[in-house]
Chains A and B, each alone.
Chain A
Amino acid sequence: MRRRILLLHAHPMPHRSRVNRHLVTAAESIAGITIRHLYELYPDYMIDVDAEQKLLLDHDIIVLQHPFFWYSAPALVKEWLDLVLQYGWAYGEGGTALQGKSLLQSVTTGGAAEVYCSAGRNRHTVREFLLPFEQTARLCGMTYLDPFVVHGTGQLQTEADLAPHSQAYCTLLSNLASGIDLPPSP
């Protein structure tokens, strides 16, 4: 059974984005995917909660794609989580709307992969930094998939640098869409 993917893309300055833009453009080729650019939709941060909830209900896989700003997501993503994942809807008493769905996070970091470990300069792995998102998904009864991470964006200047990443991204997304399960995050 095909699963429907909702890709929520959050970049405050898409004109200055390179890797994220490349990834999101590639994702457009996935059949049946819904792509939403949060900063284009809500430049004034006035998130339409009803519309967002309805979209969530209509999809099985939710992808949060954003640059890794200050070991987390851009501010609008936080606002989105705060407003859309309401008590009694997403969690808490009667909050079962998202149960059984999956959350995939897709992040790009400036730092190379090596700096994201206990011995590295950032002292933690990306997974560890994304812990609040993971627990948010779990509290809402969602499966938190192993995040898709592109490291060292500064080094990825040419089309040839970027192509392997977008190919990997598309493979992952089309596998998810056709129901081939990723190993859920350990």
Chain B
Amino acid sequence: MSDPGFFQSALVYLTAAVISVPIAKRLGLGSVLGYLAAGVGIGPHVLGLVGGSSSSSEVMHIAESGVVVMLFLIGLELKISALWRMRGTLLGLGGSQMLACGMILGVGAWLWGIELKSALLIGFILALSSTAIVLQTLREKSLHATAGGRHAFATLLFQDIAVIPLLAILPLLASTSASAANDIHSATHLSGAMQGLAICAAIASVVLAGRWLLPFLFSYIANAGLREIFTATALLLVLAIGGLMSLVGLSPALGAFVAGVVLASSPYRHELEGDLEPFKGLLLGLFFISVGASMDLQLILKDPLGITLLLAGFVIIKGSVLAALGKLFNFAPGATPLYTLSMFQGGEFAFVLFSQATTLGILTLDQSARFNAIVALSMALTPLALLAGRNWLKPPTDSDATPHREADAIEHSSPVILAGFGRYGNYVGRLLRSQGFRPVVLETDAEHVELTRRLGFEVHYGDATRLDILHAAGAQHAKLLVIAISDEETIDLLVATARRHFPHLEIVTRATGMDHRLRLIQQGVHHVFHELAGSALDAGTQTLRLLGIPAYPAERAARKFRRWDIESARDLAPIRLQDESAYFAIIRERVANLESLFRSDPTHEGSADAKAWQPPSSPKTPPAQT
């Protein structure tokens, strides 16, 4: 940390991001382009603030963990069942995309004058698209849940799997000695069968750990009550999985995705999401900056025509193949343009694969520099293409969101968020469930979470007063927030947070006592319930019955009391804060009037003026009892 270089680079990266990203966003270009521009700006060819290729590739390495975290988070939102439903698209569409794009781009490269085998390799490398760019851009524009967005996601997932054989094939194509091949990837130390075995073992251990070990770990950490350690555990988990996966030659992002899917049904899901979200954003930003910084401007300026032609050739070929796939797979209307415009670029794995291919002597330095350049340029073109596409495609692509939501795996939404699932909340929750509503339940007591889940409830570990947790619980889409927390201050905090950030949410809340209740009403919360009123009035009703009051009059008395109590609170709330003495005067008066109020009930025993059903005691013919 004492290394001044660290502060300097941090300063440069953060400043560049802070300046360029908001501008890009304001111009409607999206954050990705802003980061890329920031990278170009601080890169060696413009300001030269970040140095040569070695340091920027190191940054790139750190930054890649942004993609890993992102896929972990995407995994968290996908349950296994949802993934299973995607299998057709994943294998059919994903496989066809890789095969078609790879072959055709390969032939293109061959025609461009590259030897056939290498040309095909280049074709397949270029067939990969950028998970980071596509998903970040689609999310930013809320297009990820549309049909086109889902097709893109499935394809990207398949590509992440396809990287494995590509990495394995590389050394086989190498013309140089085997020793050079050896150090490109740790996994290549193993034979093919051994590597296959290692991959299976790694995935199995992630799945098993996710299912059996991690819930224990999280509940242990959560019980310690240290929020930052929970965050640290989450980061450690994702990075460890990433590390394990790259050790066996699997894409770290894919491993993180698998772990995410396994943990999707864990109660800690929302907490994990809330904790990792900011890291994802920052690391992805760093990743985009380093892509920008690694762009070889000199090469582009030296041969603008050649690069432009190459780029145009690549983009047109890949785009046409993608569009053809959209037709072939009978995409919903509007999905094909979105799929094409979002997926046409080269992916981040291309940088890795091209550099390895160069080390292995498959490609010349000049070739790999050119291909790297067109991949980076095509990435930068993506947000622009989507921006342009939105303007000239007649129905804006998001109009297909509504009719085609059926298999929307990334979405989960309940109209109700229930904060607190203790002695109070579990009554609310069970009542809601009895009528078929499944609230998103948030609870901070880890032990409680486990117990309740064992009883078959979907409860999530998370502090509902945290904005990120509310976001993760879907507060922006929910209609109601039910607060069943016992602590007065926490209730107030949650009310304030919800009203500030989610003004559309209707709040139903528990109040700890009369004063608290009046305060909440005064703040404009409409549905405030004294936490003990219900039980106390039940006890009172029973007492009346035991004293000889018949059941129906006793019931009416309790209900009338309840109504009177609620009305009193509503009337008193505005006075409570203004004038304490007036408040107590009114309370005294109300209590004094209570008896006469109840005597007037038609069922009241002592009521002299009971006029319903029964004549007083005059023998004259009464109107009611005929």
Partner-B contacts on A (CB < 8 A): 12-17, 39-41, 43-44, 67-71, 74, 108-112, 115, 121-122, 153-155
- At the interface, yes or no: B578 with Cβ under 8 Å from chain A? no
Say yes or no: A71-B626 contact (C-beta < 8 A), given A39-B551, A39-B552, A154-B618.
yes
Docked-complex contact B605 and A110, CB < 8 angstroms: no
Docked-complex contact B553 and A13, CB < 8 angstroms: yes
Docked-complex contact A110 and B613, CB < 8 angstroms: no
- At the interface, yes or no: B615 with Cβ under 8 Å from chain A? yes
Docked-complex contact A13 and B554, CB < 8 angstroms: no
Bitwise interface map of B from 181 to 216 toward A, beta carbon under 8 Å scored 1, else 0: 000000000000000000000000000000000000
Residues of B within 8 Å of A15, CB to CB, are: 548-550, 553, 605
With A43-B551, A67-B625 given, name 10 new contacts (CB 8 A).
Answer: A13-B603, A13-B613, A15-B548, A40-B552, A43-B556, A67-B613, A70-B626, A109-B625, A110-B625, A110-B626
Docked-complex contact A154 and B551, CB < 8 angstroms: no
- At the interface, yes or no: B92 with Cβ under 8 Å from chain A? no
Q: Of B548, B555, B619, B622, which one neighbours A43 at CB under 8 angstroms? A: B555
Query: Complex formed: what's the CA distance from A80 to B197 in Å?
Result: 70
Docked-complex contact B550 and A13, CB < 8 angstroms: yes
- At the interface, yes or no: B620 with Cβ under 8 Å from chain A? yes
- At the interface, yes or no: B621 with Cβ under 8 Å from chain A? yes
Docked-complex contact A154 and B555, CB < 8 angstroms: no
Closest to B625 in A: A110
Closest to B613 in A: A69
Docked-complex contact B613 and A154, CB < 8 angstroms: no
Docked-complex contact B552 and A12, CB < 8 angstroms: yes
Docked-complex contact B615 and A110, CB < 8 angstroms: yes
- At the interface, yes or no: B47 with Cβ under 8 Å from chain A? no
Query: Complex formed: what's the CA distance from A111 to B554 in Å?
Result: 29
- At the interface, yes or no: B172 with Cβ under 8 Å from chain A? no
Interface residues of B in 593-626 (CB under 8 A from A): 603, 605, 610, 613-615, 618-622, 624-626
Residues of B within 8 Å of A155, CB to CB, are: 619
CB pairs A–B below 8 angstroms (23 shown): A12-B603, A13-B552, A13-B553, A13-B603, A13-B605, A15-B548, A16-B605, A40-B552, A43-B551, A43-B555, A67-B613, A67-B614, A67-B625, A68-B626, A69-B626, A70-B626, A110-B615, A110-B621, A110-B624, A110-B626, A111-B626, A112-B621, A154-B619
Q: Of A13, A14, A122, which one neighbours B626 at CB under 8 angstroms? A: A122
Query: Complex formed: what's the CA distance from A41 to B555 in Å?
Result: 11
Docked-complex contact A13 and B614, CB < 8 angstroms: yes
Query: Complex formed: what's the CA distance from A16 to B552 in Å?
Result: 12
Say yes or no: A40-B621 contact (C-beta < 8 A), given A16-B605, A154-B615.
no
Query: Complex formed: what's the CA distance from A121 to B621 in Å?
Result: 11
Partner-A contacts on B (CB < 8 A): 548-556, 603, 605, 610, 613-615, 618-622, 624-626
Residues of A within 8 Å of B615, CB to CB, are: 110, 154
Closest to A40 in B: B551
Query: Complex formed: what's the CA distance from A71 to B623 in Å?
Result: 10
Q: Of B549, B550, B621, which one neighbours A111 at CB under 8 angstroms? A: B621
Residues of B within 8 Å of A110, CB to CB, are: 615, 621-622, 624-626
- Name, among B555, B615, B624, B625, the residue most crowded by chain A CB atoms within 10 Å (CB to CB): B625
Give, as a whole number of angstroms, the nearest-CB distance from A114 to chain B.
11
Query: Complex formed: what's the CA distance from A41 to B603 in Å?
Result: 16
Say yes or no: A39-B626 contact (C-beta < 8 A), given A12-B613, A154-B621, A155-B619.
no
Closest to A112 in B: B621
Number of A-B contacts (CB under 8 A): 71
Docked-complex contact A69 and B625, CB < 8 angstroms: yes
Residues of A within 8 Å of B605, CB to CB, are: 13, 15-16
Docked-complex contact A43 and B624, CB < 8 angstroms: no
Give, as a whole number of angstroms, the nearest-CB distance from B614 to chain A.
5
Closest to A153 in B: B625
Docked-complex contact A68 and B603, CB < 8 angstroms: no
Give, as a whole number of angstroms, the nearest-CB distance from B343 to chain A.
58
Q: Of A17, A44, A71, A154, which one neighbours B620 at CB under 8 angstroms? A: A154
Docked-complex contact B621 and A14, CB < 8 angstroms: no
Give, as a whole number of angstroms, the nearest-CB distance from B494 to chain A.
33
Give, as a whole number of angstroms, the nearest-CB distance from B622 to chain A.
5
Say yes or no: A69-B624 contact (C-beta < 8 A), given A12-B552, A16-B614, A43-B555.
yes
Residues of B within 8 Å of A74, CB to CB, are: 613
- Name, among A43, A69, A74, the residue most crowded by chain B CB atoms within 10 Å (CB to CB): A43
Q: Of B550, B610, B613, B620, which one neighbours A40 at CB under 8 angstroms? A: B550
Query: Complex formed: what's the CA distance from A16 to B613 in Å?
Result: 10
- Name, among A15, A115, A155, the residue most crowded by chain B CB atoms within 10 Å (CB to CB): A15
Residues of B within 8 Å of A108, CB to CB, are: 625
Residues of B within 8 Å of A154, CB to CB, are: 615, 618-622
Docked-complex contact A43 and B626, CB < 8 angstroms: no
Query: Complex formed: what's the CA distance from A39 to B551 in Å?
Result: 7
Residues of A within 8 Å of B622, CB to CB, are: 110, 154
Query: Complex formed: what's the CA distance from A13 to B557 in Å?
Result: 13
Give, as a whole number of angstroms, the nearest-CB distance from B612 to chain A.
9
Residues of A within 8 Å of B556, CB to CB, are: 43
Residues of A within 8 Å of B554, CB to CB, are: 43
Query: Complex formed: what's the CA distance from A70 to B623 in Å?
Result: 8
Docked-complex contact B626 and A109, CB < 8 angstroms: yes
Give, as a whole number of angstroms, the nearest-CB distance from B563 to chain A.
14
- Name, among B551, B615, B620, the residue most crowded by chain A CB atoms within 10 Å (CB to CB): B551
Give, as a whole number of angstroms, the nearest-CB distance from B434 to chain A.
15
Give, as a whole number of angstroms, the nearest-CB distance from A87 to chain B.
24
Residues of A within 8 Å of B549, CB to CB, are: 15
Closest to B548 in A: A15
Give, as a whole number of angstroms, the nearest-CB distance from A122 to chain B.
7
Closest to A121 in B: B621
Docked-complex contact B625 and A68, CB < 8 angstroms: yes
Docked-complex contact A39 and B621, CB < 8 angstroms: no
Query: Complex formed: what's the CA distance from A43 to B549 in Å?
Result: 12
Query: Complex formed: what's the CA distance from A109 to B624 in Å?
Result: 10
- Name, among B605, B614, B624, B626, the residue most crowded by chain A CB atoms within 10 Å (CB to CB): B626
Q: Which 3 interchain pairs have the tightest Cβ spacing?
A: A43-B555, A154-B619, A43-B551
